Chains A and B, each alone.
Chain A
Amino acid sequence: MDMNSLSPTMPTSPLSMINQVKFEDEPDLKDLFITVDDPESHVTTIETFITYRVATQTSRGEFDSSEFEVRRRYQDFLWLKGKLEEAHPTLIIPPLPEKFVVKGMVERFNDDFIETRRRALNKFLNRIADHPTLTFSEDFKVFLTAQAGELSSHKKQGPGLLSKVGQTVRAVALSMRGVRSRPEEFTEMNDFIETFSQKINLIDKISQRIYKEEREYFDEMKEYGPIHALWSESEEDLADMLGGVASCLDRCCQATERRLCGLSEALLPVVHEYVLYSEMLMGVMRRRDHIQAELESKAEALTYKKADTDLLTEEIGKLEDKVECANTALRADWERWKQNMRNDIKSAFADTAERNIHYYEQCLATWESFLTAQSDLYAKEPPEDKP
């Protein structure tokens, strides 16, 4: 069995992943590079939407060329995610940014929103590229390489609408039945996911709140320097000192702005992605349960039915395989996901701490040099008598 997950000849069946745990992606082994950029607005008579440029560079053999450039809209990303979920129901598919932002957004397409979304879409595709299984998905390849017309015709392939409806009906019936004997490990997994989801949501809220407070602090601070500058104009003795304070305040203000940028680029997107991941994970657990429930219901049917037992037994055999595959795939992907999560959270917070340290160091230097200048001044002046 080939242990190098990035080799194009590696078999993609989940069974082959049993002994494989992948931690971090080694950059020198990467052979697929994707960027999402250049948002553009398109206006038609029916709707307005944004497309993004998706640029790919690869050295993989199965790609016809080494460079691709296509334009995709959010709907296309949604389609890709759906296909991946369909093909790999118990793998942890990376999350997409939300369709709409619920609160406070009047205009769907303001610049901040578009930029945030662009970054998240970029992350989405790169995570797929880094995933040992998903990276070889045919739908993924089509997404990266097909020109507009080709993509739509490819989308139309696959199970028709009716069969999809049938699947949904069965799914509802099964979910009402529930799963009978979930293995212990998956119950533990489920509990972890629930707690994690709670905590990461809280952290997301806290971080957003901190950003908001810091932003408002920055807005107030912006006035502060100029006020002191103005004041210094109407003073004689104090003019220099006030001027000094004013320029310190201005510099601290700039440092605050940098700190804000850091938050919005490094911490907030990471935390938010994991909020979406936690929702994704709950979906994965449900799908796994669903597969097991299918098996259980067929097995139950066997105990009641007298005829057709051969066919049923065969179906049950297939379903048992399916359950086994699903569980194995999930188990492996789960370990991988947890490791990535730890690394990402750790870096994001360590990075934030680093930026905060930097911020305080800059402000410290500013104020210390102000004080030094003042004490130099005092050294030159004759001592005053205090009343």
Chain B
Amino acid sequence: MEQAAPALERLLQPAPLEPLGHPDAGLEAAVGEEAEGAQDEEGPGDRTMTENNFWLKKIEISVSEAEKRTGRNAMNMQETYTAYLVETRSVEHNDGPSVLTDSLWRRYSEFELLRNYLLVYYPHIVVPPLPEKRAEFIWHKLSADNMDPDFVERRRIGLENFLLRVASHPILCRDRIFYLFLTQEGNWKEIVNETGFQLKRVADRLYGVYKVHGNYGRVFSEWSAIEKEMGDGLQSAGHHMDVYASSIDDILEDEEHYADQLKEYLFYAEALRAVCRKHELMQYDLEMAAQDLASKKQQCEELSTGTVRTFSLKGMTTKLFGQETPEQREARIKVLEEQISEGEQQLKSKNLEGREFVKNAWADIERFKEQKNRDLKEALISYAVMQISMCKKGIQVWTNAKECFSKM
């Protein structure tokens, strides 16, 4: 009686791993780099995640700090709340040093939102629990105080456990929204809401309302058997209830289209991030190359002028094993000069590459953004059209039903 339409279930699955659209190879490559990596074992209660997730290296998650904050809520009223620092570290090798890859602040309501999202998208999985919302069981205090340090500490531990349990679940850990929760501070809320998981809940509810009306049909029909005067009226009214109940199936198909559009919006944010990462990597590369060039230039200068300011292996061996001949020195200077010239070329081309990348990526993002806006506009219009059609059908069915009831 109350299952969601199978089509709806299928379509509103959690977002898959690949991004939407085909921006240039740069973007894809950037995201692709995330998708390669080692395969690791999962240990029970382990702090690390398993293979085939977004990280694909061992990671550690911790909720390390809690801080009081004041801000404005949705009603534009001042409020005080506690924010928790969520840190993610990746571990290159077992027992190796861990590198802090992400750290951001989250408040309790965001944890709740994450959990609600997981509950909707993974209805067959037991999603780990969150620590309690309010400090309800502090007996020795006169009132529940969410700022109480003991409470905050217990909650911090509870939140950390929650994240660790999600991370160690083979299916939940692969979820994009979870990944974004750990890595993207701003805009995360909007992204979750745009997955339309709220939409799915609303759609389920609406489905339920319509379908239960279908039961009237059967009972009215059975009842009409014993009624002489009301019989016909009941029978036809029952028929209209059946029509009403089945009308939801068509409506839900239209609703799926809207949900699709919302999902695609998700990828936009994802793509942006990938571009930034790629850009950072390129910058890093550039800096290394520039540094390398600078040091070579310096070596060259020292060799020519005879002063040794930079450390080099050659310099050391020279000291230990005696000076080199002028010919040897000339040879070395020549090699260095070649390398410097090469290095300068490379630096130039890397610089160019970098600028090209930024230009193209930016153009691509702009294009993507416009496309997204167009698509979303279209989706919103279709949503309105769908609502209108649903209302018209509803009016028709209930007008017919009303006539039947009046004639009874």
> Which residues from chain A sit less than 8 Å from chain B, CB to CB?
191-192, 195-196, 199, 202-203, 206, 209-210, 213-214, 216-217, 220-221, 223-224, 226-227, 230-231, 234, 237-238, 241-242, 245, 248, 252, 342, 345-346, 349-350, 353-354, 356-357, 359-361, 363-364, 367-368, 370-371, 374, 384, 386-387
Give complex CA distance A227, B74 in Å.
Answer: 10
Which residues of A sit under 8 angstroms from B373, Cβ to Cβ? 237-238
Give complex CA distance A216, B406 in Å.
Answer: 30
| Residues 286-324 of B contacting A (Cβ, < 8 Å) | none
Partner of B387, one of A242, A367, A374: A367
Closest residue on chain A to residue B262 by CB atoms? A231
> When the two chains form their complex, are residues A371 and B385 in contact, meaning their CB atoms are under 8 A apart?
yes
Q: B10 interface residue, CB < 8 Å from A?
A: no
Partner of B193, one of A195, A203, A230, A248: A230
Closest residue on chain B to residue A349 by CB atoms? B405
> When the two chains form their complex, are residues A384 and B374 in contact, meaning their CB atoms are under 8 A apart?
yes
Give complex CA distance A361, B205 in Å.
Answer: 21
> When the two chains form their complex, are residues B388 and A230 in contact, meaning their CB atoms are under 8 A apart?
no
Give complex CA distance A196, B216 in Å.
Answer: 14
Give complex CA distance A362, B140 in Å.
Answer: 53
Q: B329 interface residue, CB < 8 Å from A?
A: no
Q: B223 interface residue, CB < 8 Å from A?
A: yes
> When the two chains form their complex, are residues A242 and B223 in contact, meaning their CB atoms are under 8 A apart?
no
Give complex CA distance A191, B398 in Å.
Answer: 32
> When the two chains form their complex, are residues B209 and A214 in contact, meaning their CB atoms are under 8 A apart?
yes
Which residues of A sit under 8 angstroms from B216, Cβ to Cβ? 203, 206
Q: B332 interface residue, CB < 8 Å from A?
A: no
Partner of A217, one of B187, B208, B222, B387: B208
With A199-B219, A342-B230, A346-B408 as contacts: A367 and B391 at CB distance below 8 Å: yes
Give the interface SS of chain B, mostly helix, strand, loop or mixed. helix
Give complex CA distance A387, B371 in Å.
Answer: 9
How far is the CB of B179 from the nearest CB of chain A, in Å? 20
> When the two chains form their complex, are residues B398 and A353 in contact, meaning their CB atoms are under 8 A apart?
yes
Q: B392 interface residue, CB < 8 Å from A?
A: yes
Partner of B202, one of A217, A367, A370: A217
Q: B355 interface residue, CB < 8 Å from A?
A: no
How far is the CB of B220 from the nearest CB of chain A, in Å? 8
Which residues of B sit under 8 angstroms from A206, Cβ to Cβ? 212-213, 215-216, 219
Which residues of B sit under 8 angstroms from A349, Cβ to Cβ? 237, 401, 405
Which residues of A sit under 8 angstroms from B388, Cβ to Cβ? 364, 367-368, 371
> When the two chains form their complex, are residues B212 and A213 in contact, meaning their CB atoms are under 8 A apart?
yes
Give complex CA distance A371, B377 in Å.
Answer: 12
Closest residue on chain B to residue A210 by CB atoms? B212
How far is the CB of A283 from the nearest CB of chain B, in Å? 20
Closest residue on chain A to residue B2 by CB atoms? A213
Which residues of A sit under 8 angstroms from B380, Cβ to Cβ? 238, 241-242, 245
> When the two chains form their complex, are residues A356 and B219 in contact, meaning their CB atoms are under 8 A apart?
no
> When the two chains form their complex, are residues B405 and A361 in contact, meaning their CB atoms are under 8 A apart?
no
Subset of 24 A-B contacts with CB under 8 Å: A196-B223, A199-B219, A199-B222, A206-B215, A209-B212, A216-B208, A221-B202, A227-B193, A242-B380, A245-B380, A252-B387, A345-B230, A346-B233, A346-B405, A350-B405, A354-B398, A361-B391, A361-B395, A367-B388, A367-B391, A371-B384, A371-B385, A374-B381, A374-B384
Q: B198 interface residue, CB < 8 Å from A?
A: yes
Which residues of A sit under 8 angstroms from B401, Cβ to Cβ? 349, 353
> When the two chains form their complex, are residues A220 and B205 in contact, meaning their CB atoms are under 8 A apart?
yes
Give complex CA distance A195, B388 in Å.
Answer: 40
How far is the CB of B398 from the nearest CB of chain A, in Å? 4
How far is the CB of B242 from the nearest CB of chain A, in Å? 13
Closest residue on chain A to residue B407 by CB atoms? A346
How far is the CB of B200 from the nearest CB of chain A, in Å? 10
How far is the CB of B113 from the nearest CB of chain A, in Å? 11
Give 17 A-B pairs besides A217-B206, A220-B198, A248-B387 with Cβ atoms closer than 8 angstroms.
A195-B222, A196-B226, A203-B216, A210-B209, A210-B213, A216-B208, A217-B209, A220-B202, A226-B74, A241-B380, A342-B408, A349-B237, A350-B405, A359-B394, A363-B391, A367-B384, A367-B388
Give complex CA distance A210, B216 in Å.
Answer: 10
Closest residue on chain A to residue B233 by CB atoms? A346
> Which residues from chain B sit less than 8 Å from chain A, CB to CB?
74, 187, 189-190, 193-194, 198, 201-202, 205-206, 208-209, 212-213, 215-216, 219, 222-223, 225-226, 229-230, 233, 237, 367, 371, 373-374, 376-377, 380-381, 383-385, 387-388, 391-392, 394-395, 398-399, 401-402, 405-406, 408
> When the two chains form their complex, are residues A238 and B377 in contact, meaning their CB atoms are under 8 A apart?
yes
Which residues of A sit under 8 angstroms from B189, Cβ to Cβ? 230
Give complex CA distance A342, B230 in Å.
Answer: 7
Closest residue on chain B to residue A355 by CB atoms? B398
> When the two chains form their complex, are residues B391 and A356 in contact, meaning their CB atoms are under 8 A apart?
no
How far is the CB of B381 from the nearest CB of chain A, in Å? 6
> When the two chains form their complex, are residues B212 and A357 in contact, meaning their CB atoms are under 8 A apart?
no
> When the two chains form their complex, are residues B198 and A360 in contact, meaning their CB atoms are under 8 A apart?
no
Partner of B402, one of A192, A350, A359, A363: A350
> When the two chains form their complex, are residues B398 and A220 in contact, meaning their CB atoms are under 8 A apart?
no
How far is the CB of A249 from the nearest CB of chain B, in Å? 9
With A217-B208, A346-B406 as contacts: A363 and B374 at CB distance below 8 Å: no
How far is the CB of B87 from the nearest CB of chain A, in Å? 26
Most buried by B among A196, A202, A353, A356: A353
> When the two chains form their complex, are residues A357 and B202 in contact, meaning their CB atoms are under 8 A apart?
no
Which residues of A sit under 8 angstroms from B391, Cβ to Cβ? 360-361, 363-364, 367
Give complex CA distance A248, B388 in Å.
Answer: 12
Closest residue on chain B to residue A194 by CB atoms? B226
Which residues of B sit under 8 angstroms from A227, Cβ to Cβ? 193, 198
Closest residue on chain A to residue B371 by CB atoms? A387
> When the two chains form their complex, are residues A371 and B381 in contact, meaning their CB atoms are under 8 A apart?
yes
Partner of A342, one of B212, B229, B392: B229
Give complex CA distance A70, B157 in Å.
Answer: 61
Give complex CA distance A210, B357 in Å.
Answer: 58
Give complex CA distance A191, B392 in Å.
Answer: 41
How far is the CB of A124 from the nearest CB of chain B, in Å? 25
